[in-house]
Structure formats: structure tokens, C-alpha cells
């Protein structure tokens, strides 16, 4: 019990809004100060800007009740800070930045991997179907984005003298950011994950994308001004992501129905894919093209194919969801208004009739009907036999009734027939035919494998609602009055013996 209490407290004890605001201001201010300051103060300010918010926001992830996806994402942010901190310390000591491809770069790449793993596990935990859909959406976005980065960022910013490892590293940083943006949109599209913490994560990743674009340019064409801008942005981006992770780790997933319409996050991914493909082709056609024409054509075909496929898939999902919702609503209405055993209407429909302000036009007969001998069948053969009898009686009554007549199961072995537009002779014939059909033997195979013929009869009471019935001296009655009168007549019929019917009349209730 104590452990569960601690878990609940962990979920409730997220960072307060004033603390989050103070940490963001701290990261932005000291990050900007570090960019404007020469070493060694530069490294000190940069580390203070990065490590204090991370320690406050991410260390609680080690506590009880925090799931692994959030811990992995927190570890990813820690890797980013470790790698950048190692570079700042190296400059503090020797005044130079370590060469590309060093251990710091490997740690930085590990940060992307841990973040992606956390996102994957989070989606897998709360919406497994979103894994397949999200992977397809990532492909739609990644194909044209890769071409754009190569064509207009990586290749133009490099020259033939740059080693291929350096070009690949610059490209990987940018592609990793594209994947992270798509992954965050993927999280936003997951039905059971909601909250402002995802917005903070997305804002941090978008800022990271901007910083990594500057960093990629600086890798290929080193510039102290560009590195200063990156150092000013990074602490704020990591703090934003840490805020999102800290809040998200303490947010319980919301309950959503299994069927939901297409989320805007998935539509955003598809929209990026639609825009990036044509932009890449148009820009390539407008000027010198560093990539082979055949490669552009292949990418255009792949991108268009992905987009058409995802559009069709989204349309089909939307159509399936609409059909499922309509079917669910139909089943709910059926369950609310129909008896599950016999399939007949249940007594809930009477509430609409009794509360309706509309007057009843024309005579409407109400026949209250109760089975005779039903209890003895239940006692002798069991409830399965009784259920079979009720189902058989319901079927026989439905076959006898006219179009427009309704039969309701009121509960147990009691039924109500509502027959509009009938006179005394017609309702008498209808009721007698009902009673005759009900009295027919009902075949039932018992647990012993033998066939038993079950026999029941019924007693009925008839009353009229609405306008005065032809040939009757009774005044017009409401549904409630007629229902009470038909019940009264039915009990009189049962007192007379099995298989009797009585038409209720105010002046002479004993009259047939």
C-alpha cells in the first residue's frame, strides 16, 4: 500500500509552473551570456546553464513509479548535455574544439537513439496500432526531407576537400532532428497521450533542429559566430525538453475510446510530406542541381507513392471509424431499448410514450399478457428451459401481430402488446389468436438429451387509450390510464383460470 501511495505522490509532484519558468529563464540567460563571453568563463556559464535545470528536472526520474520510456528520454537529454559539456571543458583547457568523430560526437548521437527509443516504447505501451501508422508517416516525411537536406544544406555547404565522414556526420545530425520532430508529432497523434508536456517537448525539438542546422553549417565551414549562437540555443532547448519529460513522466494516460477520428498530428506529418516533395523538385529545376536527375526522379516517385498510399489509408481509416461509430451507436440504442433474451422491445420505450406531450389520435389497444404455468417449467426443468419458452413465445407473438403493432417484454413472463387503430372486435380476434398460438407445445432438448414438450398458456387484459373505441361507452384515456386498466383486467383474467382474456370497461369490468 505504501509503495502505491508513493507512486501516486510521484505523479502528483511535478515541477511547479514558477519553477519551470525560473529554470527556462536561467537556461536562456546563462546560455546567451556564455555565447557572448570568451573562455574560460564561457565554459563555466554554459555548464551552469545546462546542468542546473537538468539536475532539477531529470534527477527525479530515478524515483519510484516513473516508467522506462520517460527515463530513456531523460537519458537522451543527459547525453546531449554531456557531449556539449565535454567540448566546452576541452576548449576551457586547451582552447580548441575536439575533432569531429570524437567520443563526444558518439555520446551526442546516443542521445538521439535514447530519445527515439523512449518515444517508441511510449507509443508501444499506450497504442500499439500507432507504431505501424507512425512508421509509415515517418517514411512519408523522411524521403523528401533527406533530399532537401542533401541538395540544399549538406552538399552546398561542403566542398570536395571535406572528408566523407564529416559530411555524413552533418547529415546525420539533421536527419536525426527530422525524425525527432516526426516522432513528437507521432506522440501527439497517439489517442491515450495528451498534455502540454508534449508541446514543451515539441518546442524543444524544433529549437534543436534550428541549432543543429547551424551546427551542420559550422561543421562544414567552421565559424566562431555560428558556434556562439548554437551554445546560446542549446541550454534552452534541453531545458524545454526536460520540462516536457518531467511533466509527462508524472501524467497519467487518458482513457479514450478504441475508435477515434484521424488526429491532426498525423495529418501534419502527411502535410509536410506533401509540401517537401514538390519543393525539392521545384528548387532542383530552378538552378544548378548537385544531385543526379535520376535520383531526383526516383525520390519524387517514392515520395508521391508514399503520400498517395497514406492519403488512401487515412481516408479508409476515417471511413472505417465512421462505420464503427455508427454501428456502436446502433448497438447501444438496441441494448437500451431491446430485451437481450427475446429481442423484443423492453419497458424503457414506455417512458417515451408516457412522457410524450403529443395526444393519441385514434383508439390504441394495450394488451397486458402474462404466461400461465411458467414458474412450474422453471422449477421442473431449470432456467434454460424457461428462457427457451420465453424466446419461443416472443417469436410466436411477433409472427401473429400486424405491421405497426409492437410487443414489449415488461419483465419476467409479462408482455405488453400495443396495437393502434383497432376496435373491440379486432382486438378480441388478435388476442384470441395470440393465446391460441402461445398454447402450442414448445419442444426443448434437456441436459439428458431427451426432447421435452413444454406447455404454457397466457392470460390477457385489454384496455384502450386515445379516442373512445367504437362501440364502447368508456371515455378517452391516456397511455398510463390504459396500462393500469389492462394490468387490472389481466389479473382478473388470471383469477378466472388459464387462457382467459378480459376487456376492461369502467362500467362493468367483468364483462367479456
Beta bridge pairs of residue 419: 365
Give the confidence band of 1 by pLDDT, cuts at 50, 70, 90: very low
Q: Residue 460's pLDDT is what?
A: 93
| HEC-encoded secondary structure of 344-355 | CEECHHHHHHHH
- The set of residues, in sequence order, having a beta carbon less than 8 Å from that of 203 and lying 6+ positions away, is 240
Least-confidence region, from 228-242, 267-281, 402-416, 451-465 = 267-281
- 170-223: pLDDT as tens digits: 666 666 776 676 666 666 666 556 566 777 887 887 788 777 777 666 555 655
Q: Where are the beta strands (DSSP E) in 313-421?
A: 345-346, 364-372, 406-411, 414-420
| Cβ atoms 80, 116 nearer than 8 A | no
Q: Residue 512's pLDDT is what?
A: 43
**Phi and psi at residue 415, to the nearest 5°:** -130, 160
Higher pLDDT, 454 or 1: 454
**pLDDT over 70 for what percent of the chain?**
60
Q: Residue 462's pLDDT is what?
A: 92
Q: CB count, 10 Å around CB of 335?
A: 11
- 402-413: pLDDT as tens digits: 888 888 998 889
- 63-73: pLDDT as tens digits: 877 888 889 98
Q: What is the mean pLDDT of the chain?
A: 75
User: What does the alpha-carbon distance between residue 141 and residue 182 come to, in Å, rounded to a whole number?
Assistant: 8
Three-class SS of residue 409? strand
The answer for 403, left when phi > 0, alpha when psi is -120 to 50, beta otherwise, is beta
Q: Residue 266's pLDDT is what?
A: 61
Instruction: Give 226: exposed, middle or buried? Use CB within 10 Å, 0-12, 13-18, 19+.
Output: middle
Higher pLDDT, 493 or 160: 493
| Cell matching residue 50 | 545546462
Least-confidence region, from 78-82, 168-172, 226-230 = 168-172
**pLDDT over 90 for what percent of the chain?**
11
C-alpha to C-alpha distances, 226 to 35, 195, 232, 259, 421, nearest whole angstrom: 10, 34, 10, 48, 89
- 298-348: pLDDT as tens digits: 666 666 666 667 666 666 776 777 787 777 777 777 777 888 888 888 887
Least-confidence region, from 155-159, 233-237, 327-331, 385-389 = 155-159
pLDDT value at 7 more than 60: no
The mean per-residue pLDDT over the stretch 259-265 comes to 50
Q: Residue 9's pLDDT is what?
A: 38
Q: Residue 504's pLDDT is what?
A: 82
pTM of the predicted protein model? 0.51
- 389-432: pLDDT as tens digits: 999 999 999 888 888 888 899 888 999 998 888 888 888 888 98
Q: Residue 367's pLDDT is what?
A: 92
Q: Which of 106-115, 280-289, 379-388 has the highest mean pLDDT?
A: 379-388
- 91-149: pLDDT as tens digits: 777 655 555 556 777 788 888 888 888 887 877 776 666 556 666 666 666 666 666 66
The mean per-residue pLDDT over the stretch 46-69 comes to 88
DSSP code of 338?
A: B
Give the confidence band of 469 by pLDDT, cuts at 50, 70, 90: very low
- 14-40: pLDDT as tens digits: 678 889 899 999 999 998 888 777 667
- Helices 196-220 and 164-189: crossing angle, nearest 10°? 170
**Superfamily, domain 345-503:** Reverse transcriptase/Diguanylate cyclase domain (3.30.70.270)
pLDDT value at 507 more than 50: no
- The set of residues, in sequence order, having a beta carbon less than 8 Å from that of 6 and lying 6+ positions away, is 64, 65
Q: Residue 23's pLDDT is what?
A: 92
Amino acid at each position: 500500500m505504501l509503495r502505491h501511495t508513493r507512486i501516486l505522490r510521484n505523479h502528483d509532484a511535478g515541477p511547479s509552473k514558477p519553477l519551470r519558468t525560473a529554470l527556462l529563464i536561467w537556461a536562456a540567460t546563462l546560455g546567451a551570456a556564455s555565447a557572448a563571453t570568451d573562455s574560460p568563463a564561457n565554459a563555466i556559464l554554459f555548464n551552469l546553464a545546462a546542468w542546473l535545470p537538468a539536475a532539477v528536472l531529470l534527477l527525479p526520474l530515478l524515483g519510484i513509479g516513473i516508467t522506462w520510456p520517460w527515463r530513456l528520454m531523460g537519458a537522451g537529454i543527459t547525453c546531449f548535455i554531456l557531449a556539449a559539456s565535454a567540448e566546452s571543458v576541452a576548449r576551457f583547457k586547451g582552447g580548441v574544439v575536439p575533432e569531429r568523430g570524437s567520443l563526444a560526437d558518439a555520446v551526442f548521437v546516443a542521445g538521439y537513439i535514447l530519445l527515439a527509443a523512449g518515444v517508441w516504447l511510449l507509443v508501444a505501451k499506450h497504442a500499439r496500432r500507432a507504431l505501424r501508422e507512425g512508421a509509415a508517416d515517418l517514411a512519408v516525411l523522411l524521403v523528401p526531407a533527406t533530399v532537401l537536406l542533401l541538395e540544399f544544406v549538406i552538399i552546398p555547404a561542403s566542398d570536395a576537400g571535406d572528408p566523407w565522414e564529416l559530411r555524413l556526420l552533418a547529415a546525420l545530425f539533421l536527419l536525426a532532428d527530422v525524425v525527432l520532430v516526426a516522432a513528437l508529432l507521432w506522440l501527439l497523434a497517439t489517442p491515450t497521450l495528451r498534455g502540454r508536456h508534449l508541446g514543451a517537448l515539441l518546442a524543444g525539438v524544433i529549437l534543436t533542429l534550428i541549432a543543429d542546422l547551424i551546427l551542420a553549417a559550422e561543421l562544414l565551414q567552421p565559424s566562431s559566430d555560428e558556434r556562439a549562437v548554437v551554445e546560446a540555443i542549446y541550454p534552452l532547448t534541453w531545458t524545454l525538453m526536460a520540462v516536457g519529460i518531467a511533466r509527462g513522466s508524472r501524467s497519467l494516460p487518458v482513457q479514450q475510446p478504441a475508435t477515434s477520428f484521424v488526429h491532426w498530428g498525423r495529418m501534419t506529418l502527411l502535410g509536410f510530406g506533401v509540401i517537401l516533395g514538390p519543393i525539392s523538385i521545384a528548387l532542383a529545376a530552378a538552378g544548378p542541381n548537385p544531385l543526379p536527375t535520376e535520383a531526383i526522379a526516383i525520390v519524387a516517385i517514392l515520395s508521391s507513392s508514399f503520400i498517395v498510399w497514406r492519403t488512401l489509408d487515412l481516408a479508409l481509416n476515417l471511413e472505417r471509424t465512421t462505420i464503427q461509430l455508427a454501428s456502436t451507436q446502433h448497438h447501444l440504442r438496441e441494448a437500451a431499448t431491446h430485451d437481450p433474451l427475446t429481442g423484443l422491445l423492453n419497458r424503457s420505450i414506455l417512458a417515451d410514450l408516457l412522457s410524450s406531450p403529443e395526444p393519441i389520435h385514434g383508439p390504441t389497444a394495450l394488451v397486458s399478457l402474462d404466461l400461465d404455468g411458467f414458474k412450474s417449467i422453471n422449477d421442473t426443468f431449470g432456467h434454460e428451459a424457461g428462457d427457451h419458452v420465453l424466446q419461443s413465445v416472443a417469436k410466436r407473438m411477433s409472427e401473429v401481430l400486424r405491421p405497426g403493432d409492437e410487443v414489449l417484454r415488461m419483465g419476467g413472463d409479462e408482455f405488453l402488446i400495443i396495437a393502434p387503430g383497432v376496435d373491440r372486435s379486432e382486438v378480441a380476434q388478435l388476442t384470441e389468436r395470440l393465446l391460441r398460438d402461445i398454447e402450442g407445445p414448445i419442444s426443448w432438448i434437456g441436459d439428458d438429451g431427451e426432447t421435452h414438450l413444454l406447455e404454457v398458456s397466457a392470460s390477457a387484459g385489454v384496455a384502450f387509450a386515445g379516442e373512445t373505441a367504437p362501440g364502447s361507452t368508456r371515455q378517452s384515456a391516456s397511455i398510463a390510464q390504459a396500462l393500469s386498466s389492462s394490468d387490472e383486467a389481466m389479473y382478473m383474467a388470471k383469477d378466472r383460470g388459464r387462457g382467459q382474456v378480459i376487456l376492461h370497461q369502467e362500467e362493468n369490468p367483468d364483462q367479456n
